[in-house]
Structure 1
Amino acid sequence: MVGIGITIAIIAIILIVVMWVIQTYNRLVQLSERVKKALKDIDVQLQRRFDLIPNLVNTVKGYSKHEAEVLEKIAAYRSRYEGLSNDDVKEKSKMVSDMSRQISGIMVQLEAYPDLKANTNFLELQNELQSTEDKIAYSRQFYNDITTKYNMTIKMVPANIIATNFGFTEKDLFEVEEAEARKSVKVEF
Structure 2
Amino acid sequence: MLWVIIAIVAVVVILAILLITSYNRFVKQRNLIQESWRQIDVELHRRYDLIPNLVETVRAYAAHERHVFEEVARLRTQAVNVQGSNPEQRAAAEGQLSGALRQMMISVEQYPQLQSNQNFLGLQRELTDTEDRIAAGRRFYNANVGDYNTRIEAFPSNVIANSFKFEKAGYFEVKDEQVRAVPQVSFGTIGSVAGEQAPPQMQPGAPSSGQIHPRLPGDQGNYQGNYQQPPQIPGGYQGEPPVGGPPVGSPAPQDGQPPFTGGQ
Settle same-fold status: TM greater than 0.5: yes
Which deviates further from its counterpart, 15-24 or 5-14? 5-14
The reply to whether residue 95 of structure 1 matches residue 61 of structure 2 is: no
Q: Distance in 2 between matches of 1:57 and 1:10?
A: 71
Match of residue 25 from structure 1: 23
Task: For structure 1, list consecutive stretches of 5 or more residues without a partner in the other structure.
Answer: 184-189
Instruction: Supply the distance in 1 between the matched residues of 2:70 and 2:97 (Cα, whole angstroms).
Output: 14
The answer to whether the aligner puts 1:121 opposite 2:146 as a matched pair is no
Distance 2:180 2:3 in 1: 69
Greater CA drift, 113-122 or 58-67: 58-67
Question: Once the two structures are superposed, what CA deviation does each residue of 1:16-59 show, in whole Å capped at 9, x if it has no partner?
Answer: 10010000000011111111122222111110100111121232
Contact conserved, 1:90 with 1:172, CA < 8 A, in 2?
yes
Deviations 1:137-168 (A, max 9, x none): 11111111110110001111111110010001
Whichever residue aligns with residue 85 of structure 1, its letter is G
**Contact between 2:75 and 2:93, CA under 8 Å: does it hold in 1?**
no
Structure 1 residues 33-44: aligned runs within 5 Å: 33-44=31-42
C-alpha displacement at 1:109, in angstroms?
A: 1.0
The superposition leaves residues 52-85 of structure 1 with CA deviations (integer Å, 9 ceiling, x where unpaired) of 111212322321223862563255234423xx22
Distance across 2 between alignment mates of 1:68 and 1:156: 48
SS in 1 for 2:16: helix
2:150 aligned to which of 149, 152, 155: 152
- Taking a change above 3 Å as real, the CA distance of residues 42 and 155 of structure 1, as seen in their structure-2 partners, is same
1:134 is the counterpart of 2:132? yes
Q: Helix, strand or coil: the match of 1:160?
A: helix
More deviation, 69-78/90-99: 69-78
Tell me, in whole angstroms, the C-alpha distance in 2 between the residues paired with 1:160 and 1:28: 10
Q: In 1, are the aligned partners of 2:40 and 2:137 still within 8 Å (CA)?
A: yes
Alignment of 1:13-92 (within 5 A): 13-65=11-63, 66=66, 69=70, 72-73=73-74, 75-81=76-82, 84-86=83-85, 88-92=86-90
Structure 2 letter corresponding to 1:153: R
Contact 1:53-1:74 within 8 A present in 2 as well: no
Structure with the bigger RCO (C-alpha within 8 Å, sep 6+) is 1
Indicate conservation of the 8 Å contact 1:50/1:74, yes or no: no
Specify the alignment match of 2:161 in structure 1: 163
Q: Using the TM superposition, give the Cα deviation of residue 105 of structure 1 relative to its aligned residue in structure 2, in angstroms.
A: 1.0
Contact 2:79 2:93 in 1 (8 A): no
Q: Residues of 2 paired with 1:72 and 1:177: CA distance? A: 20
Structure having the higher helix fraction is 1
* 132-141 or 144-153: bigger deviation: 132-141
Q: Provide structure 2 residue ranges, at least 5 long, that are not aligned to the other structure.
A: 182-264
**Distance (whole Å) between structure 2 residues aligned to residue 121 and residue 144 of structure 1:** 35
